[in-house]
Amino acid sequence: MTITFFANFMNHHQLPLSLELIKLLGDGNYHFVAFEQIHAERSKMGYEDMNAKYPFIIRAYASDEEWQKALELCRTSDIAIIGNAPAEFRDIRYNSNKLTYLYRERLFKNGTWHRFYPPTALKLYKDYTKVRNRNVYLLAASAYASFDLQLCGFKKEKCFKWGYFPELLPQVKKNFDKLRIMWCGRMLWWKHPEDAVEVALYLRSKKILFEMQIIGDGEKKEFITKMVHENNLEDSVFLYNFMSPSDIRNVMNESNVYLFTSGKQEGWGVVLTEAMNSSCVVIANKNAGSTPFLVDNNSNGFIYDGTISSLHTAVDALLKCDMEALSTSAYYTIVNTWAPNVAAENLVVTSRHLLEGGKNHVLNGPCSLVE
């Protein structure tokens, strides 16, 4: 079995899955085709340029020779995973009817009405509706991607749960003497960093001992800084600029609560996976793509609906819960179900069944059917 993954560039969210697939398939049977150099914005955030670091990565953008290698892999691979790739590569797979997975987050982040806009409708028809009866399946890197594709005529039984699978760290023994809360990310309007400050204000009103670290930068940084200052929160809320991925994980390991506040524009949100792997008790916005897949409300974390009143309810539940038990449950949700090795194994098992004309038999986690 040969698998090729076509995407924009390699990063630390995709590398662990790639390494696990190589273990299962053997050297030479798995490749990753990168179509872009790593973005400058990602480099500023501490991302490493991995495209030239591993022999299984084909840099299609680097030369005509590499581009031709990528095309040949597209034609000959038993299985293709298509993320961000030029239409030429999708068309090769569609026309050959060879087993192909579309790796997608949600399509309609700004409303389902976009599917009626004529240029968008035509693109959706070519990319999804037209191929719904071909050997094409969805790897849904969002709990909402399946719904979006079904609006385009894609069949529900061809939609499998998926996500992003960062490197896993060993379980961390947490200290619960006080709340050590973390938020990190780009400070954009749809990531709602102000919800973290709202949590701080609510905890202070209830006279709860806590400290909060907010890490990141972006268009709302000035607003958040002003919000902290005007509410006299400097003694408990600490603001930092971007850190490297390894430094972020170190802060997570020292925290016991993670706030995942992104709205529906967050396709997945790998930071939630990382926080749960770091044994944080999470409070997660249900509108972000990864939340419904990863969080079982009141069991391994808490879910709120994006409103401040719902956020306060989640904080109240946090204050009453057995934090150590939820912390442990969050950790094992990731290592037992949403780990890179589990995703790789489930993908290979599912692909074998589909190649043989059977059905998918994975019941839980990656490659299980989306409800």
Is residue 42 very low, low, confident or very high in pLDDT (cuts 50, 70, 90)?
A: low
Is residue 46 very low, low, confident or very high in pLDDT (cuts 50, 70, 90)?
A: low
pLDDT tens digits, one per residue of 334-368: 999 999 999 999 999 999 999 998 888 899 999 99
CA 274 to chain centroid, in Å, comes to: 10
pLDDT at 45: 67
Decide which of 130 and 43 is more confident: 130
pLDDT tens digits, one per residue of 292-305: 999 999 999 999 99
Q: Does residue 289 register a pLDDT over 90?
A: yes
Q: Once rounded to an integer, what is the mean pLDDT over residues 296-317?
A: 98
190, 262 contact by CB (below 8 A): yes
Exposed, middle or buried: residue 119 (CB in 10 Å: 0-12, 13-18, 19+)? exposed
98, 78 contact by CB (below 8 A): yes
Q: Once rounded to an integer, what is the mean pLDDT over residues 173-184?
A: 95
Q: Is 369 helix (H, G, I), strand (E, B) or coil?
A: strand
pLDDT tens digits, one per residue of 130-153: 999 999 999 999 999 999 999 999
Handedness of CA 128, 340, 44, 216 (dihedral sign): positive
Describe the strand order of the beta sheet including 210-215 as a list of residue ranges.
237-240, 210-215, 179-184, 257-260, 281-285, 301-304
Q: Does residue 48 register a pLDDT over 90?
A: no
- 276's tokens: 């749960």
Q: Does residue 24 register a pLDDT over 80?
A: yes
pLDDT at 114: 83
Q: Following DSSP, what letter does each residue of 11-65 receive, concatenated? A: -TTTHHHHHHHHHHH-TTSEEEEE-SPPPHHHHHTT----TTT-TTEEETTT-HH
pLDDT at 295: 98
Percent of the chain with pLDDT over 90: 87
Strands, DSSP E only, in the chain?
A: 3-7, 30-34, 57-59, 79-82, 100-104, 136-140, 159-161, 179-184, 210-215, 237-240, 257-260, 281-285, 301-304
Percent of the chain with pLDDT over 70: 98
Lowest mean pLDDT among 11-15, 16-20, 248-252: 11-15
| Residue 131 phi, psi dihedral angles, 5° rounding | -105, 15
Average pLDDT score, the chain: 95
pLDDT tens digits, one per residue of 241-285: 999 888 999 999 999 999 999 999 999 999 999 999 999 999 999
pLDDT at 256: 97
pLDDT tens digits, one per residue of 76-116: 999 999 999 999 999 999 999 999 999 999 999 988 888 88
Amino acid in position 368: S
Is residue 44 very low, low, confident or very high in pLDDT (cuts 50, 70, 90)?
A: low
Is residue 43 very low, low, confident or very high in pLDDT (cuts 50, 70, 90)?
A: low
